[in-house]
Amino acid sequence: MKSLFIITTLFFVVHFSNGQSSNNGLVPDSSYFVFTADIGRITKSMPIKDMNDYPFVQQMVKEVTGYNKEELTLEEIGMDLSGSIHMFSGIKQSFSFHGFSMPLKDQLSFLKNELVPLEFRTALKNENVAYNERRLAFIHGNTFMMMELNWKDYLFEEVVDSIFDANHWERPYRWGGYEDYEYTESIPIEEPMEYETEEEAVEEYDESIEVEEEYEYPPAQMEDDYYEEKEDMYEKYERFLDSVMESRIPKITEAFISSLKEGNVLSKTDKNYASTQTQVADGSIYLNPAIVDDNRNNYYYQMQNPLLGGMNRFTKETWQSGYINFTKTGLTVDWNTHGEERFMNVMKAGMNSKFNENLLSYIPENTQGFALYNMNGLGAYEAMKASYMPVLDESEKPEYLLASAIWSTLDELVDEEAVFDIYSANMFVTYNGLQTMMLERTTYDYDEETFEYEEQTENYEDQVPIMTFGVYTEKAYLMEKYMKAWRAYDDIGMEKIGDYYRFDKGPIGGTPYYIAIIDNIILISNDESLMKNNLKGYGKEAISGDRYKAAKASQMFYANMNMEELPKDFKTLTTNQRERDFFESMKDKTGNAELAMKGITDNKQTIQLNYTFDGKYKNGAYYMMDIMNTIFERTNN
């Protein structure tokens, strides 16, 4: 859908503001994802005249308006640059949808845009609404909304199946379909499909289709006749299905439009979403997966995963929100997980753990990026059991009771303390740039006389990403036992060199990788110099200063990435010339990203991303516009 591509670009352009409008937009209820950009104070963050100067903005306005003038401005689109623009995805019982809404300043000018389908323009001008089977456009007040509708075909197939079954007609069988299972409740579409007789149902959907009173197969069939009858059966089924859909889809669509006209929008029906729109931010994100679960039948999921199916009910109050703000030196993103107090108590218990400082000594000062993960797994498990097991036991719902029974059985069979001692959640990973390594590859020489292939092995040099993974566990000796066992096999391509083990072929480019067990630390890396020279850590060459302090004080998760060398690294790793040119153009548009857990309250957990750009820009908005313009220029060359 070209219009959605254009509006996505426009969305990022108008994103760069510093205020929050009171306009909550036209977002349908049952939307589970909404991305909102406020454009109310855009001129205070980045003047419109500055934005109009970018080539990609000129091209976007040209595609939206269809104008072919030398200079174009965002104002010519006809939208109100003091409101908010929304992109959303949602789900109803009969269909899913995704689209956008935006405030209008000049409705007549806007309706002339290429963004609006030509066949919709007259209806929108006269009736403020236009739709076909797959697309809907709607104007309410000064807000324009357009979306694509994706129908759940199986619901209409259910109706046709019932007609065929009642008349004892053969019908197609769908392997793995819903009919393989006996559901505890059906999923109706927006208007129940009720009829007194199957004959009346058929007549309702297509009067031209005659109902066969009785169908009998001949006692014997020739093969050609058999396939001909199968083909006739499929054609007959499709005729009925088309008739049902042609009858029901307009009614469901009109009911959906009426609901919007009556004010059934997300800001009025969902207090959680409404709360995200009161937060002062350049952009906001709302994500609520529970809405998807509410509009689908979970019987199959629960039968396949009885434990998770029962526990799933406890996470229905869990939803996500995010807030994006541009700063003088970059941007920040605050990502929140909202949930009930019991769920947050589990997360708090998981955070009750300190990161082992000895692991930090294996992160070099010159690393390009590293991530830490530290969680009190046993504490989180015990908190979960204390919070949720009583609720399961006291329930009368079969899926809850089954989940409790399975959980209790596992709890008796497994020593949780021993498990969490072995599988420690105290670990790190680093990316230390590229390194030239000697690699081995196999080629084949073809003999045209004997028609045989001869295998040849040759060595060559190449650049390889250097990665190191480390984990702290008091049961590290178990890994040593496995190393000894693997070493006893002759064909595994492994040898012990001093205090570490070398494997001939690793997962990164087939280069050798190494494993070392030092005290209670297990190291896995393709960096030979680490094994030869730094098995006790990097000492004074390990990370220090602010990065060390932030890593040491981190709770649960922390990551830091210096992107200065990334464009050069990516350029080295690719052979595609267009990609190489793109990465070359990005070498002066880098920065540093820091991601950290900021804390947990009784109803919210927050992770924050801080991105600081390199180079001189007025603020994060100008930096992002430069990035977008570079992408536009490289992809259009």
Q: Give, as one character, the DSSP assignment of residue 405.
A: H
In angstroms, what CA-CA distances link 410 with 177, 413, 451, 558?
Answer: 32, 5, 60, 32
pLDDT of residue 316: 72
CA distance 249 to 95: 10
pLDDT of residue 64: 85
Q: Can you give the pLDDT at residue 541?
A: 96
200-214, 338-352, 576-590: lowest mean pLDDT where?
A: 200-214
The structure tokens listed for 73 are 């401005």
Q: How does pLDDT run across 366-383, given as a tens digit for each residue? A: 999 999 999 999 999 999
| 296/286 Cα distance (integer angstroms) | 20
Give the range among 292-296, 356-360, 487-491, 569-573 with minimum mean pLDDT.
292-296
Segment 412-453, tens digit of pLDDT: 999 988 888 887 788 999 999 999 988 877 788 887 777 788
Give the residue-averaged pLDDT of 3-15.
Answer: 52
What pLDDT is attached to residue 19?
39
Please tell me the distance from the alpha carbon of residue 383 to that of residue 342, in angstroms, as a whole number: 8
* Nearest CA among 51, 42, 115, 114 for reference residue 80: 42
Q: How far apart are CA 207 and CA 194, in angstroms?
A: 17
Over residues 107-112, mean pLDDT: 89
183 vs 471: which has the higher pLDDT: 471
User: pTM for the complete prediction?
Assistant: 0.81
Q: Where are the domains of the chain?
A: 2-152+254-304, 154-248, 340-606
Each residue of 189-198: pLDDT tens digit?
444 444 444 4
Q: Give the count of alpha carbons within 13 A of 54, CB side only.
A: 26
Backbone φ/ψ region at 474: left (φ over 0), alpha (ψ -120 to 50), beta: alpha
